[in-house]
Structure 1
């Protein structure tokens, strides 16, 4: 039987990618369970709001194509494509991403704390309700800083992206404040920026490909609909719900970059602090050896 993934461990680039998928393989059932329990409400809300927005866009395009925009009662414009539906869609999409991040990071923190045991629903809920608002506020602030960085010739934004990606894992796994995590991420990534950036690029490409494969069938059907009805955009209510549902459910693949970034965090902390080694030394003579570890490690 394959031993469970040791989180606190120094890894090279290839090991981070391999252990990301190994961790997901070993924990996929509880991760999916908690995804639907804690993220399901935002996924459903996202499906409803996205369906409403897609139907609104379709109706607006039909009005423009058949000339009813000349009617004084309805004059579609650029602003016809934005409104409460778009605002709700964007809001629930953002909240879904935040909830997924908090859920997966809470699972990883508890997994390490419980020595590779699957956390209970009560333990997960305790972590999520404690960290959610903290992570939400921190994420908004980090996104604003990244936007400012990209405005300044893009390069500062690219430089800050892998650094800021470590803030949320630090806050939850180390149970720290935003200010401490913000300063610590710069310390951890020093001399390791390129390796962390490389992992980010690879896992986000994998995430995009996986999500694209899931979303592709509905996109093809929409394209066929446009070809067969060139003068009228056709999208039924069931079609809008299915399209939005597939898009929302594909967010489950966010587990890949979140787990990978967590392993990057553990790699950096072990390289800088060696906390896992110190814990093992302090436990010598007080606990039985971990049978999952190779013989040479104890």
Structure 2
């Protein structure tokens, strides 16, 4: 089966069913593995390695990944012990460095993947490659806006949660006397939140491709996903399960690297323990960079699918391209002297 090169707008803007959208994500990686990988290595990897180093040092201080999980399960339900463990975790510069680096690296990853896709889509010459400086220029231009959009979406979630809590408190007496209404109200509230989260999963590809503002992007997402929520939700679930399985394999291997050198919490970690924790965390960061673009690409192809179904941009581009192909130049044909032709 021939695979699309993904060098023309019609390779992106076309209607796809559920399976072909997942297949297109892997096909795109296959077709652009080297140039896209080069962009990720130059733009995203340095900050991800910094995040891995900070995370590894924090895990070494906490006694390793297995000790952290074991303590969390042991303290489940014990608020005092959980708060003490949380205080121990954030009581160090590694935690805050890892947190900031995680936020920045995730923003860079989203912008790099979607920026490469948008630049590839908008290239007039199908043979012209997308270079790292082009992607980096786009990432620099949109980084602050994307970061603010992250905070805006997070603030929206916090406001929604606060509003839900206020409604539940105000209706506390009514709900206590009517359990059926309480269950229905909780179902409606969490259903609305789930609906909004699935819709907003297309936020950054819409914002980057259509160059819209924050609120215009939110409205555009709701317009596109209207009537196609279940297919978008199913795509997210399937790709998330696939990535979760792959991430579990990687994390199991990296845990085996660092677990033998873990120490009891409260003791000073050895140099070897720090090194193995940092190596394991850096490998986890590299796996994150390698695997999560598949989810972003699947959402991008869902966006292109919805745009084509509702607006037919790919069909318009195909019609407009008719007659624009240059005619091949014909060379004059020379005949030998003995070839007199027919008269």
Is the TM-score greater than 0.5?
Answer: yes
Report whether the alignment pairs 1:237 with 2:274: yes
User: In 1, Cα distance between the equivalents of 2:137 and 2:266?
Assistant: 53
User: In 2, Cα distance between the equivalents of 1:50 and 1:263?
Assistant: 33
Larger CA deviation: 148-157 vs 6-15: 148-157
User: In 2, Cα distance between the equivalents of 1:279 and 1:271?
Assistant: 14
Using structure 1 for the length normalisation, give the TM-score. Answer: 0.83
Instruction: For CA contacts below 8 A with separation 6 or more, give which structure has more relative contact order.
Output: 2
User: In 2, Cα distance between the equivalents of 1:114 and 1:173?
Assistant: 13
Q: Deviations over 1:111-164 (max 9, x none)?
A: 111155531122112211111111111122113324555674533331112211
User: In 1, Cα distance between the equivalents of 2:251 and 2:321?
Assistant: 49
Report whether the alignment pairs 1:139 with 2:147: no
Larger CA deviation: 26-35 vs 266-275: 26-35
Residue equivalent to 2:339? none
User: In 1, Cα distance between the equivalents of 2:311 and 2:300?
Assistant: 16
Task: List gaps (5 residues or longer) in structure 2.
Answer: 72-82, 165-185, 328-343
Task: List gaps (5 residues or longer) in structure 1.
Answer: 66-75, 290-298
1:190–1:36 Cα change, 3 Å: same
Report whether the alignment pairs 1:7 with 2:12: yes
Query: How many correspondences in the alignment?
Result: 275
Greater Rg by CA: 2
1:233–1:288 Cα change, 3 Å: farther
User: In 1, Cα distance between the equivalents of 2:250 and 2:136?
Assistant: 29
Residue equivalent to 1:268? 306
Question: Once superposed, what is the RMSD of the aligned Cα atoms?
Answer: 2.9
1:240–1:191 Cα change, 3 Å: same
- Return the match for 2:223 from 187, 193, 213: 187
Return structure 1 stretches of 4+ with deviation > 6 angstroms.
228-235
**Does the aligned pair in 2 maintain the 1:101–1:258 contact within 8 Å?**
yes
The alpha carbon displacement at 1:106 in A equals: 0.4
Using structure 2 for the length normalisation, give the TM-score. Answer: 0.73
- Return the match for 1:120 from 124, 128, 131: 131
